[in-house]
Structure 1
């Protein structure tokens, strides 16, 4: 068993709004939320006021402790207000992917037993198509729908709620976990509060930080590491509804952003896209990557171009989400490492074939135990038991390794490993090699099959503009840089690699094309 090199932190016995926004009113006119497009700013004092008034408005509209409220929206200035107001009223918030189809939305609303839905008018076509029968509120204005601004005008007293932070489910994001269809991940107030305090040790936000928020708040990375961690420390969130490179770069420059919490595709753009040179990014102190593995060479290229630190961490929805992070201000972070374990966190590495514990420098499935481990999957006791064992260890489904210094590495998903003639080939390793080719803009590798039906590494490649790259060129390039059994043996050129909103490669979509 491995433990964090950091001393344990105290986990406050508080709800998320109490912990994150407890000092908001006292911060007065300090900026809390900034619209990255317009510059519209919400101060901490006004944020505290809005949360208090909206919690009263929601309670007056019928929201009760234990109810579930769904948020189906891109990042907006009102998203944190709705989230914290619902929690302050004692409800659970289920966050819906902004790209959800009507079927996806209907399924999540049904499974979570949501009683209210908060959305935006451009999403109402999908809300209508989902045929939901629950009350719907809009963050803007739409004929026939009550608005959040109407609820904010409530003069009713704010609800006073008594709940146990250790057992009350605060948020219910949906995740496919290590296997299967999307499931509701029950995260308590204590899970999130603990992770806010744990992750602050290496990430180390300050009250003068300005942090770009392009990661969606509906995703646990954006919810915890952006929304809640930044607000808990008094920093300012510069909010954009989606990632657009020009808009992103413009917001970084205009608002003197100091931290960019992103996913690997954004690091790739910062390292390679020519338009980056057109913007003054001198205020940027750290680019921090999560949600998917970041290659060390790509991180170094981005750092050299921007003149700032490029770091990464690791987590998953079921872990609230952070378990590892490279420390802020460290003189040197190891290439490809996700850093040490967070405080209060224990880990094991278990051999995939034998189930025995592996040691330093040996790979195996990563197991995690700590206060950030979810309560379980909503209504799925069997799947919960398959993920969290009797001793409280959460089985991540990720292949990991720790070195003698206590720095960790994620090699790939256990289930994504390609078995070529009995050898294990991690797709992420081959993707890192491919992305270092100047003629390749993006790439993904999955398990394809040869004429005999045996698994082989199959690369999907997006050629850089003007590149005359051929499949033979790609195969030859990789073969000179990896062990013979790891060579790419088939190549398909595509216009884009399908990815989730958090930046994870949608390998199932690629498999469907073969």
Structure 2
């Protein structure tokens, strides 16, 4: 059976994302759009509107044209939205990059996305330069601050050149190209069109309304589709104020809530854990908070209840989606008085869902039964860049996106995500592909075979654990050796955090790793 949203359909938003978000910026005028939570400087809506248009003009002068890809390699800053909307106004697609990636990881993304331009910040310049050297074909590396030998976005935003007038097809042209591991495998470029991400904003409006005067704290990274949507596009579309922090530091985070009277938090489960249990929370006035929304990874219902009770808030809201879905499909509405504990919400407007049997995917199951979650709606991605076969495996001929998540729906339409079919590890909301780490581990001269699964640490975070088969004569290889080898070659969130040596990796006759056997082994040992 097909589950439908109880909300009225919304028309597709056939606008470029910069117009969909900043179309009312002039109307909001001197209202504060962005505040640097560390430095305290602010940007008004009028300034944001002018700056992104001037920067778009400067990008055009530099040679950015429709169809180019610009890599935005930066932590959260007040310049991030300016660069993003300027690039799309100039006709480019933006591929968002994890600021902690290595030069080799950045080069892989640059090569796959066919990026021609990089925008970074001076502390990350060495990584960006090295990546540009590795991949070749990069026209220029710009910086958001100041660095000798590089054009600064700060200066470019004062350009007097004519604003580019680029004809965009919102339904076909790609606005943003984040990288996701999908249900398994290595990261792939997710083609999200202007229409898909703009329409998803309209779909979310009835359940999480925002307006001028609302203050949102942006501590989750803008490069991640959750942060890009919930902390940048959605609030700026409605005239809210976004207080920007470059990373999560608990004391700085709490101080920003108190100082700027934040009323809405969009977080991941590790932050919920800190709010529920860390003693530092008691030292700050968090009374301005009206609600907390958690997404990006599963949230334990008891932890959610402990957090809301400690802060004196209504029940924490959860949301569900994935990069390939622009990203939202389900939200617990802010208006819901007593949502069932553990639910990730109800279908948002214009979205359909099926739950299909794990034993027979051709068979739908009804309320109460578990199965794989399938989604159809205007927010479904255009596809994986340059990977038609993997796109076809993700989105079937009828337009249903196969999420790889296992869920069930109750009689009132609330969705509960109970497991994952997919092998992807979610470390603090960031995607870690086991296949990526396995391929790296197999390059170690002392490793004969390797498998990686997600296990849970004492704080409830899913972390990568490697099962290693030593080569003959390599008995001296230690857990520390393995972890150090990986840590030197990947971004910090991808590090292997546990290691176990085994006699052989369980595999099917096809050679596929039997991760379920490793998970069973893990459960038996705890």
- Picking from 339, 344, 349, the partner of 1:343 is 349
Shift of 1:12: 2.4
Runs of 4+ in 1 over 6 A off after TM superposition: 505-508
CA drift at 1:129: 2.3
After TM superposition, the structure 1 = structure 2 runs for residues 243-322 of structure 1, keeping only pairs within 5 Å, are 243-309=248-314, 310-322=316-328
Q: Distance in 1 between matches of 2:98 and 2:359?
A: 35
Aligned equivalents of 1:278, 1:161: Cα separation in 2? 51
Aligned to 2:371: 364
Paired position in structure 1 for 2:14: 13
Unaligned residue ranges in structure 1 (runs of 5+) = 418-426, 432-445, 447-454, 465-491, 493-504
Q: C-alpha distance in 1, partners of 2:143/2:59?
A: 13
Deviation (angstroms), 1:230: 0.5
Cα distance in 2, alignment partners of residues 30 and 71 from structure 1:
26
- 1:41–1:379 CA distance, 2 compared to 1 (3 A): same
Equivalent residue runs for 1:130-149 within 5 Å: 130=131, 131=133, 132-133=135-136, 134=138, 135-149=140-154
How many residue pairs end up in the alignment? 442
Structure-to-structure mapping, 1:368-447, within 5 angstroms: 368-416=375-423
Does residue 207 (structure 1) correspond to residue 212 (structure 2)? The answer is: yes
- Work out the CA distance in 2 between the residues paired with 1:316 and 1:458: 18
Q: CA deviation at 1:459?
A: 5.8
In 2, the alpha carbon distance for the partners of 1:186 and 1:265 equals 29
- Match for residue 115 of structure 1? 116
Deviating more after overlay: 125-134 vs 40-49: 125-134
How many Å separate the matches in 2 of 1:292 and 1:91? 30
- Deviations for 1:85-124, whole angstroms, at most 9, x for unmatched residues? 0111111000011111111100111111111100000001
Q: Provide the TM-score with structure 2 as the length reference.
A: 0.81
**SS of corresponding position for 2:222:** coil
SS of the residue corresponding to residue 509 of structure 1 reads coil
- How far residue 398 of structure 1 moved from its aligned partner, in angstroms, is 0.4
Please give the secondary structure, in 2, of the residue aligned with 1:202.
coil
Task: Out of 273-282 and 308-317, give the one that drifted further.
Answer: 308-317
Matched residue, 1:168: 173
Q: Can you list the C-alpha shifts for 1:375-396, whole angstroms capped at 9, x where unaligned?
A: 0000000000000000000000
What corresponds to 1:470 in structure 2?
none
Distance change in 2, residues 1:459/1:168 (3 Å): closer
Could you state the TM-score of these two structures normalised by the residue count of structure 1? Answer: 0.83
After superposition, the C-alpha distances for 1:221-278 in whole angstroms (9 at most, x for unaligned) are 0111110000001101100000000000000110000001000000000000000000
1:333 correspondence with 2:334? no
Match in the other structure for 1:486: none
Q: Which residue of 1 aligns with 2:80?
A: 79
2:50 matched residue in structure 1: 49
Aligned to 2:203: 198
